[in-house]
Structure 1
Amino acid sequence: MTEEKSKIDVDYDYAEQYQKAYVKMLAARCRLMVTEGSQPDRESIDLSISSNRYNPILGYSESGEIKLQLKTDFQHQLSCDKKTLKYSLPIKNYRDLIGCRIAAPRYLFVMPLPRQQHLWVHEMNNGAFISGVCYWVNLTNHPPTTNKTNITIDIPLTQIVTLDVLQQMLHKAIEGESL
């Protein structure tokens, strides 16, 4: 397949839906609630994940929420040392994700995907295998920029969105903190 042909075959709407389904699957496994971001999208929030659980030790319910900007990546640019994913984030999204004057922690989730969509899901007799991984970064303490269109974000390849990471993010949100 030529490079030109593979660019045409990428369905960005499908990629966005695939990433949403992936994150929703992880959240469901953690017994967390997911809501879609508001439409029109003016805050760079694609999903919100929340938790409201009774804490028998404290005798009351605890609730927390995180907000997510989801991006899929077909470029797969790594740093020279191959320890970070370099992602070109639109400046509007960057400005919405930086700063600490927000009620709920915000995270950027980037999911590298192969251009060949048939590699995303594999059906088997006993179920389906969903391929892919999301990386996360918290941009709260990043500085403002004078860039006009995009800014390159370095996301450590060690920052993988896992069941444990989602639970930690919600626990921190309950405490009024973020990862």
Structure 2
Amino acid sequence: MYITTQKEEFSYAYINAVASAAGYSFQIAPRPLDLVGVDVTITGIALPGSRRRTRIDLQVKCTSQQLLDQDFVKFPLLIKNYDELRNDNPDDDPLLLVVVLIPDLQEDWLQQSETELCLKRCAYWVSIRGQPPTENQSTVTVYLPRQNIFSVEVLQALMQRIARGEPI
């Protein structure tokens, strides 16, 4: 398997683990959705008082590049992806960028024992919905706040906001 495919699959496993632990279903998007920037969909059942089933789409990136500074993950994103993510059509499900940072060496991505399975490093998320177009030609640097860790608690909070019809 190519390393890029391994990274993609690892990032999906990471997000699947978080979604499952949070009580939501995880689905890799079919090809037509992938072509418009959706890699993964996370779905929850309708909550009491909610007007709809909760669903969030993710565009997922995985890298071992050193992109961290004190406050942000600085990710170079293709303009095509940037434009997909900044879509502000209120009829569309929220679409977030999730960047999974992993160690350089593949053998360091995961540690396993009889008592735990540890996926290494960390995933961060950001919504750039409604951001202005860029004049850049190939990439734009997206700043993901380091406090935006893609965790069980954060995913549950995001899904609750969606269920209430609140923007992310």
Fold match by TM threshold 0.5: yes
Contact 1:52–1:61 under 8 Å retained in 2: no
Aligned length: 165
2:42 is the counterpart of 1:49? yes
Q: 1:93 aligns with which of 81, 95, 107?
A: 81
2:26 is the counterpart of 1:34? yes
Q: Percent identity, aligned pairs only?
A: 25
Equivalences for 1:1-179 in 2 at 5 Å? 11-40=3-32, 41-55=34-48, 58=49, 62-79=52-69, 82-101=70-89, 102-179=91-168
Q: CA deviation at 1:173?
A: 1.3
| 1:44-89 deviation line (CA, Å, top 9, x unaligned) | 111011111452xx4x77411110000012222234xx11111001
Q: CA deviation at 1:96?
A: 0.3
Q: Paired residue for 1:5? A: none
Gaps of 5+ in 1: 1-9
Q: Which amino acid aligns with 1:83?
A: D
Q: CA deviation at 1:14?
A: 0.5
| 1:2-42 deviation line (CA, Å, top 9, x unaligned) | xxxxxxxx811001101101111111111111121121421
Gaps of 5+ in 2: none
Distance 2:147 2:113 in 1: 30
Query: Which runs of at least 4 in structure 1 moved beyond 4 Å after TM superposition?
Result: none
Over the aligned positions, Cα root-mean-square deviation in angstroms equals: 1.8
Normalised TM-score (structure 2) = 0.90
Normalised TM-score (structure 1) = 0.85
